[in-house]
Amino acid sequence: MKVLQFGLSAGVAVVLLCLAAGYLGRLHPAGDSFAVFRPQGALALVLLAGGAVMLAMPGVAAVALGVALITGAPILLSRGAAEAMGGVALYQKNMLDRNDDLAGLEADIRAAAPDILTLQEVSDPNLPLLERLADVLPHRMFCTFEDVGGVAVATRFPPVAGSEICAHGLAAMQVEGPNGRVWLVSVHLNWPWPYGQAAHLKRLLPVIEGLDGPVVIAGDFNMVRWSAALARVRAASRTTAVGPVLGSYVGFGPWMLLPIDQVMAPGGGTAEVRPRLGSDHLGVLARVGI
């Protein structure tokens, strides 16, 4: 019994330390890497709390369950802005550079009838999709980005002449929206620490901050919305996260969907997932307020 109690206490301590590290992203990018798995950490604490009850450890159970609720409840209870339901429709998709279902993806985009389309991993084989959608999304721009494929924006709104901006993993275009001019931005960030996301974001934040006027920004950020990195993106773009939190990356299997595809807009909004359609990311269809 003593051995089991010690092992369970040690497990709770390790999970608590990992969860605590996830709140330190402003001090070091490793904190954001821990933050990615905050929901899984909260679930682990719930399970450990159950084990603590079985082993007659009420104090450990109370601590584990309390921290699980504090860290996990805000994610589970996330919601979008209801007033944005009548807003602009945006379809976000990391296509996967080796997408083998472009026809299915095209059909789903047409069925969703978005006003704005943001794409990542737009490789040479994927580029024809933009051309095939030209009848419904006639205005588009594409920016190259590393070997995995570029980023793109397509829209039915007329662009402001000469407004296109290409940066490292970013495509931005200002358009004449229904309520005035607005920037449409597609982003693909590198993987987080120990990879180069922090340095990549440092390059992009001045570009985002320099966009004059309202901004709608979407993409594969390889990061969760509760991270310090995404807080900086929202501050730079003067936007609010579109909710609720949605698992979008399916590469680890259906048991660990990571919510790393994000949509942000001045008035927030609501969102739902779309099928994989040849990718390792689900699509995200959002209604955003500008």
Structure confidence at residue 234 (pLDDT)? 97
Q: Are residues 189 and 276 in the same domain?
A: yes
134 and 257 housed in the same domain: yes
Sorting pLDDT into bands at 50, 70 and 90, what band is 233? very high
Which of 30, 59, 76 terminates a domain? The answer is 76
pLDDT digits (tens, 9 = 90+) for 81-107: 654 545 899 999 999 999 999 999 999
Q: Is 82 helix (H, G, I), strand (E, B) or coil?
A: helix
My answer on whether 163 and 42 are in the same domain is: no
273 lies in the same domain as 153: yes
Q: State the residue range of the domain holding 44.
A: 2-76
Q: Are residues 170 and 190 in the same domain?
A: yes
User: Do 87 and 70 belong to one domain?
Assistant: no
- What's the pLDDT score for residue 2? 83
CATH number for the domain spanning 96: value is 3.60.10.10
Q: What is the pTM of this model?
A: 0.93
Residue at a domain's end among 46, 76, 106: 76
Residue 79 in this model has a pLDDT that exceeds 70: no
